[in-house]
Amino acid sequence: MSITIKEVAKVAKVSTATVSMVINEKADHITQKTKDKVFDAVEKLDYKPNYAARSLVTAQSYMIGLLLPDITNPFFAELAKGLEICLNEAGYITFLCNSRNHSKQESRYIEAFIARSVDGMIICGLTKGNEEKLALLRKRNIPYLNLDSRFIKNKYSIEINDEEGGKMAARHLLELNHEIFAFIGSKSKFSNIWNRYKGFSEVVIEASKKVLLFETSLTKEGGKQIADELFKSEATAVFCGNDLIAVGVYEQARKRGIKIPQQLSIIGFDDISFADILVPKLTTIRQPLEDVSSMAVKQLLKMIKDSEYEFISEVLPVELIVRQSTLKLK
Amino acid sequence: MSITIKEVAKVAKVSTATVSMVINEKADHITQKTKDKVFDAVEKLDYKPNYAARSLVTAQSYMIGLLLPDITNPFFAELAKGLEICLNEAGYITFLCNSRNHSKQESRYIEAFIARSVDGMIICGLTKGNEEKLALLRKRNIPYLNLDSRFIKNKYSIEINDEEGGKMAARHLLELNHEIFAFIGSKSKFSNIWNRYKGFSEVVIEASKKVLLFETSLTKEGGKQIADELFKSEATAVFCGNDLIAVGVYEQARKRGIKIPQQLSIIGFDDISFADILVPKLTTIRQPLEDVSSMAVKQLLKMIKDSEYEFISEVLPVELIVRQSTLKLK
């Protein structure tokens, strides 16, 4: 059985109310001598406060809920790691849930975080249909942030400049003399992917060139599935909505004997840690992951500590990383 | 402000005690008519039970704590995904924490899970020094399981046959006529990696051949760091403690112009989803991830539901996946 507050009180020779106040940091009026008695008893008995009980008293759970759409996408795994490091430094525990891009799972996990009294939430890649969950969070005064927002542009987002990333990709490929371009992604469901497409196609069309659009899921499997269709098209250069799609296209290209970049130039998006182990190394648009993590945690903690704090929406810059998967056409 | 049980009681025109019993599924003696009144009021008010309060009453949190050593290792990301799918089907919420292979973080997260009254825990890759945390879990009657046990062999582990995996790797390389072998891993800190080495070296030494041992961290970075030393050695075949190390060796080999498998044969361990996008595709020992997930969840739920249930330790078989990174010597 667990050690209870009563046993701590008995050993410390104080009342249970005193123990409770000391443990819950509401003991400004209690002498240091008494506090020490309590701390000694806590140590002696190896007493661990029951947070389920404690959070009823202090209204602070020291928990942050982190919701990811796909933990097996290295981009999100790296983002989660960065966020956890920052939150840990600030004294918070990060609990992570993986929605597997299922709207229903996402909704269930948001409710689970609310029901378990998290102090704040970071929601990555919120899907269409769960907008009302954000309203619920506001209603319950739970600070939250959106990262990698796929559907809703809202006040509490830290964004990266997806549109500019698309433009960078297009400009790079135009400089390499390409004429017919392709984009692979899932524009209808995800606003950030749509913005990458928007920036890309805008620059291509301005240069009086053509863009073909291929819709698939944002995974390696998605890239593999659409690749044959892409290979049949006239496109000589393709911009993938994320790096994982590019990985799938690589795999299929190898199977079909299609040479990258000689027959097809490829650009990805994200710069996952596996982008530079691909052969050839993947040219991609890098997201500033560390900046996103530290900015997100800084803003969320401000919101938690000060309910009057006005969140400042951020758009962080992206960067073109030229490696070996894009080639100049003669 | 949140809706309280009092408001639900008022709308349903019943006592708060009745609402509490219905919500906490302790209402066997209450009529369906009364239950319906409560459910209608819950729906009307959009009342969400406060689990912090609720778990004090029901002693069930419907939470499972999942502790991973490295979320950016695709092996653990895939394992977490599999576990979450199984737990979700069984009606549980999975909260994941990433210890980043830090003993201190691991310890902190185990305490956090205990304090927040999880119904059970799955601990992957427990590090040396945290054995007493398992004793604590037993003392508090919290069922737990160990996966990918790196240090402690204990009763509550679902293991894969690491030693046999090492033997398979050795036999495969011996059949390819190699004479001098290397192993890269971190045998001293991790018992499972040590077992892979043990099986490997046993078979190699039985065949009167030589094994060189290279110690590094179990990451891509670890593989990169040790690679130059490996290249300077006489070894023509290397068995990496996990696939991530192999990825690092690949990267360095490419930099140094060393050809895989012509100059160096490589075998990994895990079969992460990126093993077959490497060039050449990585020969590896596959862990039966789906079996591990479903077995773990099945056993853990039995322990949660029946405190008398005797856990049956399992050792699951591994499989050699021959791809392109190993070559026959003439």
**Domain of B75: which CATH number?**
3.40.50.2300
Highest mean pLDDT of the ranges A79-88, A303-312, B104-113, B307-316: A79-88
Q: Amino acid identity of A288?
A: P
User: Is B8 an 8 Å CB contact of chain A?
Assistant: no
Assess whether pLDDT exceeds 80 at residue A21. Answer: no
CB atoms A100 and B94 under 8 Å: no
Higher pLDDT, B104 or B248: B248
Assess whether pLDDT exceeds 60 at residue A53. Answer: no
Nearest to A223 by CA among A246, A255, A254: A246
Return all residues near A227 (Cβ < 8 A) that are at least 6 apart: A248, A249, A251, A252, A253, A256
Higher pLDDT, B256 or B159: B256
Handedness of CA A49, A53, A57, A58 (dihedral sign): positive
Distances (CA, A) of A133 to A144, A185, A281: 11, 26, 40
User: Is B330 an 8 Å CB contact of chain A?
Assistant: no
Q: Do the domain assignments include residue B327?
A: no
Mean pLDDT score, B72-92: 94
pLDDT at B191: 80
Least Cα separation, residue B208 to chain A (angstroms)? 36
Q: Give the end of a domain, one of B13, B29, B58.
A: B58
pLDDT at B56: 47
Highest mean pLDDT of the ranges A23-27, A132-136, B109-113, B325-329: B325-329
Asked if A33 and A173 sit in the same domain, the reply is no
Q: Any idea what the CATH number is for the domain that residue B51 is in? A: 1.10.260.40
pLDDT at A28: 61
User: Is B104 an 8 Å CB contact of chain A?
Assistant: no
pLDDT at B69: 92
The count of domains in chain B is 3
Torsional class of A177: left (φ above 0), alpha (ψ -120 to 50), beta (otherwise): left
Q: Do the domain assignments include residue B266?
A: yes
Q: Do the domain assignments include residue B324?
A: no
Domain that holds residue B224: 162-287
Mean pLDDT score, B36-55: 69
CB atoms A71 and B63 under 8 Å: no
Assess whether pLDDT exceeds 90 at residue B1. Answer: no
In this prediction, residue A192 has a pLDDT band, given cuts at 50, 70 and 90, of: confident
Asked if A70 and A12 sit in the same domain, the reply is no
Return all residues near A207 (Cβ < 8 A) that are at least 6 apart: A170, A174
Asked if A167 and A254 sit in the same domain, the reply is yes
Q: What is the pLDDT of residues A162-185, one digit of tens each?
A: 999 999 999 999 999 999 999 999
**Which residues of chain A are within 8 Å of residue B98 when distances are taken between CB atoms?**
80-81, 84, 94, 96
User: What 3-state DSSP class applies to A222?
Assistant: helix
Asked if B92 and B155 sit in the same domain, the reply is yes
Residue found under tokens 């077995």? B295
pLDDT at A48: 66
Nearest to A284 by CA among A256, A250, A321, A253: A321
Distance CA A287, CA A290 (A): 9
Asked if A185 and A38 sit in the same domain, the reply is no
**Which residues of chain A are within 8 Å of residue B247 when distances are taken between CB atoms?**
274, 277
Q: What is the pLDDT of residues A215-238, one digit of tens each?
A: 999 999 999 999 999 999 999 999
Asked if A170 and A246 sit in the same domain, the reply is yes
Asked if A173 and A229 sit in the same domain, the reply is yes
Assess whether pLDDT exceeds 90 at residue B101. Answer: no
Q: Do the domain assignments include residue A191?
A: yes
Q: Which of A22-31, A57-66, B319-328 has the weakest average pLDDT?
A: A22-31
pLDDT at A56: 47
Asked if A145 and A33 sit in the same domain, the reply is no
pLDDT at A102: 87
Its ipTM equals 0.80
In this prediction, residue B181 has a pLDDT band, given cuts at 50, 70 and 90, of: very high
Asked if B68 and B143 sit in the same domain, the reply is yes
In this prediction, residue A24 has a pLDDT band, given cuts at 50, 70 and 90, of: low
In this prediction, residue A270 has a pLDDT band, given cuts at 50, 70 and 90, of: very high
Answer whether B45's CB lies under 8 Å from B1's CB: no
Q: Amino acid identity of B277?
A: I
In this prediction, residue B153 has a pLDDT band, given cuts at 50, 70 and 90, of: low
| Average pLDDT for chain B | 88
Q: Do the domain assignments include residue B96?
A: yes
Asked if A152 and A70 sit in the same domain, the reply is yes
| Nearest-Cα residue of chain B relative to residue A278 | B278
Closest in B53, B77, B279 to A279, CB measured: B279
Torsional class of A16: left (φ above 0), alpha (ψ -120 to 50), beta (otherwise): alpha
Q: Do the domain assignments include residue A330?
A: no
User: Is B135 an 8 Å CB contact of chain A?
Assistant: no
Higher pLDDT, A296 or B41: A296
Assess whether pLDDT exceeds 70 at residue A34. Answer: yes
Distance CA B303, CA A311 (A): 45
Q: Do the domain assignments include residue A324?
A: no
Edge-to-edge strands, sheet with B120-124:
A314-316, A157-160, A144-147, A120-124, A63-68, A93-98, B93-98, B63-68, B120-124, B144-147, B157-160, B314-316
User: Could you tell me where the beta strands, DSSP code E, fall in chain A?
Assistant: 63-68, 93-98, 120-124, 144-147, 157-160, 180-185, 210-215, 237-240, 265-270, 283-286, 314-316, 319-321
Cβ under 8 Å to B: A residues 48-67: 48-56, 61, 63
Least Cα separation, residue A151 to chain B (angstroms)? 23
Assess whether pLDDT exceeds 70 at residue B26. Answer: no
Asked if B51 and B78 sit in the same domain, the reply is no
